[in-house]
Amino acid sequence: MTQPAIHPSILNADQAHLGAELERVRNADGLHVDVMDNHFVPNQFGGPSLVQTVLAHTDLPVDAHLMITEPDRWATVYAEAGCAVVTTHLEATAAPFRLAKEIHRLGAGVGLALRPATPLTAVEPLLPEIDLLLLMTVEPGFGGQSFLEPMLAKIAAARRLVGERGQQLRIQIDGGVTERTIVRAAEAGADVFVAGSAVYRADDAAAAVATLRELAAGHAH
């Protein structure tokens, strides 16, 4: 089992003081940048310029999570900008095999995200093409939501599926990550955790990152 990774979500950071907010989480394993177009999800946030700003102010790997309707058109922009991983939603991606090849060619890792109601069977043929499977544990679009309990079974099923294939695939979860839910998600088999409110609403964000990582490591699948 790989070491658990904590990726704070900058959606929950104070955007007016982004440099300082990134500094607060310098002990994290990566940074999660949401991009929302107000079409695929009912909210608008981020874009290539924000990602470039984040990349210029951190040495941490950045994963861009594209919650947009035309990821086939835009994902390569984020790979070219220098993101470590570019994650698109299976539900919105028209040609996922071709896009995965293109993102890899540009030197980035390929992530594929599933909304809570999208079954794992939909992603199964694509597993050999990707580096990270993102299972949404809330309905995408807004920060601060509660973790959807039925997703624990989906995480466990994904980990079994990956294990059966002998694949080194990271399973990331995004939504409702707290000190309580991270333990259960780690037990189920997740190993990359997007944490927004749990980190940025803490008085000491770096301590919150360390605590979450410790809890996940202590209950790793």
**Number of domains making up the chain:** 1
pTM comes to 0.96
Tell me, yes or no, if 131 is annotated catalytic: no
Tell me, yes or no, if 174 is annotated catalytic: yes
CATH number at residue 36: 3.20.20.70
Catalytic residue among 34, 37, 63, 191: 34
Query: What residues make up the domain containing 117?
Result: 5-218
Q: Token pair for residue 50?
A: 């924000």
Catalytic residue among 63, 131, 174, 191: 174
On whether the CB atoms of residues 47 and 33 are closer than 8 A, the answer is no
Strands (E), 1-108: 5-8, 31-37, 44-45, 62-67, 85-89
Contacts of 59 (CB under 8 A, 6+ apart): none
pLDDT tens per residue across all 221 residues of the chain:
579 999 999 999 999 999 999 999 999 999 999 999 999 999 999 999 999 999 999 999 999 999 999 999 999 999 999 999 999 999 999 999 999 999 999 999 999 999 999 999 999 999 999 999 999 999 988 778 899 999 999 999 999 999 998 988 999 999 999 999 999 999 999 999 999 999 999 999 999 999 999 999 999 87
